[in-house]
């Protein structure tokens, strides 16, 4: 199975992905921000994005051929088209794919970003608002994942929501 965790900066994608990974006996967590950390980095470079999606595909094929069958991917998908571009590739390897879109209140998200105290915090504080608007619009036009608000819940609570929705299917 492949679980895709989508969401803006600071909603908890990475933390929840790490926690979700513990639910499996054997799994791989792939963080798109790290796997796709190319230099120079351009946000809206279609070649870079296609390269990342192909990299996900290659990594999953490799790990799958070596006995791994459960994967968690976290990344920011700004449109249904972008999410479909990845899922169509991955379905050829593992057809069971679940997509979740994490959201959060701006106030909580801002606190989380500030708490991280990273070098890029000032850029992230501007970017999360832009991404929230982009993803909200995208969700109105198409599917970018099953929506889960992380504002008032712990990492463990969100992990349980995701896990329970998967095992019930």
Residue 123 has pLDDT above 90, yes or no: no
Question: Is residue 40 very low, low, confident or very high in pLDDT (cuts 50, 70, 90)?
Answer: confident
Question: Is residue 118 very low, low, confident or very high in pLDDT (cuts 50, 70, 90)?
Answer: confident
Provide the phi-psi class of 31: left if phi over 0, else alpha when psi is between -120 and 50, else beta. beta
- The pLDDT, as a whole number, for residue 169 is 60
- The pLDDT, as a whole number, for residue 155 is 96
Write down the architecture of domain 2-167 according to CATH: 3-Layer(aba) Sandwich (3.40)
pTM recorded for the entire structure: 0.94
Higher pLDDT, 8 or 120: 8
pLDDT digits (tens, 9 = 90+) for 88-107: 999 999 999 999 999 999 99
| Distance between CA atoms of residues 139 and 122, nearest Å | 26
Residue 120 has pLDDT above 80, yes or no: no
Q: What is the DSSP letter of 77?
A: -
- The pLDDT, as a whole number, for residue 168 is 76
- Would you say 148 and 161 are in contact if contact means Cβ atoms under 8 Å apart? yes
Task: Calculate the CA 52 to chain-centre distance.
Answer: 13
Q: Is 35 helix (H, G, I), strand (E, B) or coil?
A: helix
């Amino acid at each position: 199975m492949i679980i895709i965790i989508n969401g803006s900066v600071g909603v908890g994608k990475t933390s929840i992905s790490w926690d979700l990974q513990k639910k499996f006996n054997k799994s791989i967590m792939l963080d798109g921000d790290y796997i796709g950390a190319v230099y120079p980095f351009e946000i809206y470079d279609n070649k870079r994005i296609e390269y990342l999606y192909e990299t996900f595909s290659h990594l999953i094929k490799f790990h799958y051929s070596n006995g791994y069958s459960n994967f968690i991917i976290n990344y920011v998908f700004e449109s249904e088209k972008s999410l479909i571009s990845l899922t169509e590739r991955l379905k050829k390897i593992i057809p069971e794919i679940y997509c979740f879109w994490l959201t959060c209140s701006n106030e909580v998200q801002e606190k989380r970003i500030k708490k991280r105290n990273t070098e890029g915090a000032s850029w992230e504080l501007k970017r999360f608002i832009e991404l929230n608007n982009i993803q909200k619009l995208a969700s109105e036009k198409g599917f970018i994942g099953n929506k889960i608000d992380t504002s008032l819940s712990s990492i463990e609570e969100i992990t349980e929501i995701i896990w329970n929705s998967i095992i019930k299917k």
